[in-house]
Amino acid sequence: MQKKIVLNDGNIIPQFGLGVYQIPEGEATENAVKEALRLGYRHIDTAHAYQNERSVGRAIHSSGIPISEIWITSKLWPSDYDDASQAIERMLELLNLKQIDLLLLHQQVGNYRKAWIALENAVKSGKVKSIGISNFDGERLVDLFNFADIKPSALQVETHPYHQQKELQEFLKPYGTKIESWYPLGHGDQRLLDESRLKKIAQKYNKTVAQIILRWHIQEGIIVFPRSTRVEHLAENINIFDFELSCTEIKEIRKLDKKQPYFTMTYDEQVQNFLSWKLKD
């Protein structure tokens, strides 16, 4: 039985889920989501930029599982920040939902203040349950928290044993904001997967290194949703709730922190890239 986390607004989110980044719209996304739900996944993380929200909606509605039992996260792209209210309506239509469980601002560029006001209004109107941000850091992160009436419930950032975001976790503590991890397995870096400390722990529990890393995320209180379309990997990834890492093992994994992100685009590069992307429904 997978775990759930209480967000700072009182809503309860499944801590483990499926990310559908780079899974194509259509059959690939629908099959991945359906199989994940069959295996016990109850959290699907998508985004308007992924261009597969419609397929996510089809899959959850055809799964036979009550919508109330499935948590859907999506993200608003910067090109929609100036007209965020209409963008939210489009997302609801694509997902075929009356309410999005968690809606994030996808990037820290553009008119994020205006977009955040729209997210807060969407919470008040019942169109969105919880709101948060993705890929915010530095002065824009501080500005958003100072500006927001409703503080972000979640911050989605690159997090893995090589980049554990300890300073960020300390910043978020007073607000009760939870970290959600992308690149939870270190972008598939073979150096991480070959770490001798992780291999030793994996052998003890008869698990893979990937399972040990995912279990570490869970015990560190991080919300995680590895991406996969392969049935065997979907089944392997969720098979992490029948064991528990010891305090000593958690400390050993913490020693792997190199503060080494794989995403290294500067803020100016983000502005140049992300504001120029115009998305289709």
Domains, the chain, ordered by start: 12-274 (3.20.20.100)
Low-confidence ranges of the chain (pLDDT < 50): none
- pLDDT, residue 198, reads 98
pLDDT at 269: 80
Buried b (16+ CB within 10 A) or exposed e, 230-251: eeeebebbbbbeeeebeeebee
Catalytic positions are: 50
- What average pLDDT does the chain have? 95
Annotated binding site for substrate: 106
Read off the pLDDT of residues 203-229 as tens digits, 9 standing for 90 and up.
999 999 999 999 999 999 999 999 999
pLDDT for residue 43: 98
Assign 3-state DSSP to the chain and report helix, strand, coil percentages, each to 5.
45, 15, 35
Q: Dump pLDDT digits (tens) for 132-185.
A: 999 999 999 999 999 999 999 999 999 999 999 999 999 999 999 999 999 999
DSSP annotation of 176: T
Task: Output the CA torsion sign for 215, 221, 227, 228.
Answer: positive
Element (H, E) at 12: strand 12-14
pTM metric for this prediction:
0.95
Main-chain dihedrals φ then ψ at residue 171, nearest 5 degrees: -60, -40
